[in-house]
């Protein structure tokens, strides 16, 4: 055979092989959803994304893998304790399994285990049937999910410094912003805070030193952390802390300086006020109304329904809360009382994907918009974005990892980087959450110091069980 013909034949064969490979890549080899079964659950803990996160993986008998995540700062055990309740079950029976395990969730980080499992079930169901999660929730209301850039106060002790940091976010394409503004800015300012003598110093010490990440502590270290935690855990009405007129002057000037840098066209939300009573919150709100604030978030504990109603009636600034509320029914009192203009659930606390969708739909009935709290990895970011895509009254989704260069790189195969592009997430038409494979090398670089293993066996949880019926 002449060389020219042989080369041509080799090229044709190569082309055919490449075509065959492309076809195989699009074949659904897991075409038996009714026979799908959960075979294992494993976790890996990372830090710096921006906080401590437990990533959950649920394996199946057909090679499909579903990803979930425990909320930032939560315990992996909240999820692992549920393993024996779902082993051998079909992950496509999402609602059935959620109802079996939801009693083990709770408010704030205590909801993280249930939410992680529920999220992974949605991922598996979407992959089994070959459809994206948003389609299973009813389809699209929008093609792009607006993301707001959160910006903490650390290193930004003047309004000009915060404004400069926010301006960088705007230059990156973000069209919605949020910043911190709280009494921690006043700790070292004489005459700015009124409180029982010595208590402000205690609050400062606890806020600077409390750290939930370390697990291997001495008894003395653990006792000290618990004391700091106790200070941070005093509900707002019981601290006795009040802001003085001098303090309000400083906080107002801070907001004014921010607006002078970023302008008035971009929405600006505010969070992390510190543990002050509702009266001080009202005074602050009235001071900064003129600066067109998108919302004031978590000013007091969400459980204080009547105080939220009072706060909302006392200011023209929209009031927002919800990131620590578990299950739809616990949002209803705030909505019925008119305590919020924006509801702000976290997909890793509220109960997961479907519960988040239900909260958004319920809020719409009360004329309330839904923003979404999110401070974790691309897994929960994509899960929240799927819900946002499918929810009509959605406003904006939080993004807390603007300054984390490796955040996108956690995804090896699936949704393409940058996941957040010029202030928006475009949810792809990929099955499940859109994350086919995580990059284990990236995860290894950011492992939790006290949980160094990667996807280690969790067989000790296979048989864990108790009689947990909540009624007799």
The average pLDDT across 109-124 equals: 97
Per-domain residue ranges of the chain = 35-130+453-461, 144-197+238-436, 198-237
pLDDT of residue 22: 56
pLDDT band at 154 (very low <50, low <70, confident <90, very high): confident
Strands lying side by side in the sheet with 53-60: 38-46, 53-60, 65-70
pLDDT band at 27 (very low <50, low <70, confident <90, very high): very low
Task: Count CB atoms within 10 A of the CB of residue 146.
Answer: 18
CATH code, 35-130+453-461: 3.30.390.10
pLDDT band at 465 (very low <50, low <70, confident <90, very high): confident
Quick one: 263 exposed, middle or buried, by C-beta within 10 A (0-12, 13-18, 19+)? exposed
Distance CA 80, CA 84 (A): 8
The average pLDDT across 135-155 equals: 95
pTM value is: 0.92
| Per-residue DSSP letter, 369 | E
pLDDT digits (tens, 9 = 90+) for 44-57: 999 999 999 999 99
pLDDT of residue 469: 87
pLDDT at residue 305 above 60? yes
pLDDT at residue 19 above 60? no
pLDDT band at 4 (very low <50, low <70, confident <90, very high): low
pLDDT of residue 24: 46
Radius of gyration, CA atoms only, the chain = 24
Quick one: 74 exposed, middle or buried, by C-beta within 10 A (0-12, 13-18, 19+)? buried
CATH code, 144-197+238-436: 3.20.20.120
pLDDT digits (tens, 9 = 90+) for 206-258: 999 988 888 899 999 999 999 999 999 999 999 999 999 999 999 999 999 99
């Amino acid at each position: 055979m002449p060389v020219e013909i042989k080369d041509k034949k080799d090229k044709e064969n190569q082309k055919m092989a490449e075509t065959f490979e492309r076809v195989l890549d699009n074949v659904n080899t897991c075409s038996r959803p009714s026979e799908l079964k959960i075979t294992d659950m494993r976790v890996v803990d990372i830090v710096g994304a921006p906080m401590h996160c437990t990533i959950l993986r649920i394996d199946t008998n057909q090679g499909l893998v579903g990803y979930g995540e425990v909320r930032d700062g939560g315990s992996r055990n909240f999820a692992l304790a549920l393993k024996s309740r779902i082993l051998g079950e079909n992950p496509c029976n999402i609602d059935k399994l959620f109802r079996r395990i939801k009693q083990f969730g709770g408010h704030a980080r205590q909801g993280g285990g249930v939410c992680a499992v529920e999220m992974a079930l949605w991922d598996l169901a979407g992959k089994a049937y070959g459809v994206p999660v948003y389609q299973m929730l009813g389809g699209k209301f929008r093609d792009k999910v607006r993301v707001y850039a959160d910006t903490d106060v650390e290193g930004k002790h003047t309004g000009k410094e915060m404004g400069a940091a926010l301006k960088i976010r705007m230059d990156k394409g973000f069209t919605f912003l949020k910043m911190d503004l709280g009494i921690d800015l006043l700790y070292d300012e004489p005459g700015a805070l009124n409180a029982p003598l010595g208590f402000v110093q205690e609050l400062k010490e606890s806020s600077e030193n409390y750290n939930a990440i370390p697990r291997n502590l001495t008894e003395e270290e653990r006792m000290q952390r618990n004391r700091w935690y106790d200070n941070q855990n005093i509900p707002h009405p019981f601290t006795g802390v009040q802001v003085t007129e001098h303090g309000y002057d400083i906080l107002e000037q801070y907001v004014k300086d921010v607006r002078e840098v970023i302008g008035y066209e971009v929405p600006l939300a505010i969070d992390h006020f510190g543990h002050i009573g509702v009266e001080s919150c009202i005074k602050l709100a009235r001071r900064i109304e003129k600066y067109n604030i998108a919302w004031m978030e978590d000013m007091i504990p969400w459980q204080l329904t009547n105080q939220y109603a009072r706060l909302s009636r006392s200011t023209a600034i929209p009031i927002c809360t919800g990131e620590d509320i578990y299950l739809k029914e616990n949002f209803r009192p705030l909505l019925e009382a008119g305590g919020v203009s924006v509801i702000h659930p976290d997909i890793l606390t509220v109960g997961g994907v479907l519960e988040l969708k239900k909260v958004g739909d319920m809020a719409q009935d009360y004329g309330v918009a839904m923003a979404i709290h999110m401070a974790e990895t691309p897994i929960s970011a994509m899960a929240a974005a799927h819900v946002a895509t499918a929810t009509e009254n959605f406003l904006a989704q939080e993004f807390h990892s603007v300054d984390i260069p490796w955040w996108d790189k956690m995804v090896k195969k699936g949704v393409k980087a940058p996941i957040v592009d010029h202030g928006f997430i475009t949810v792809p038409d990929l099955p499940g959450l859109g994350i086919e494979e995580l990059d284990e090398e990236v995860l290894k670089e950011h492992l939790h110091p006290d949980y160094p293993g990667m996807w280690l066996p969790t067989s000790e949880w296979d048989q864990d069980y108790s009689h947990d019926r909540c009624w007799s």
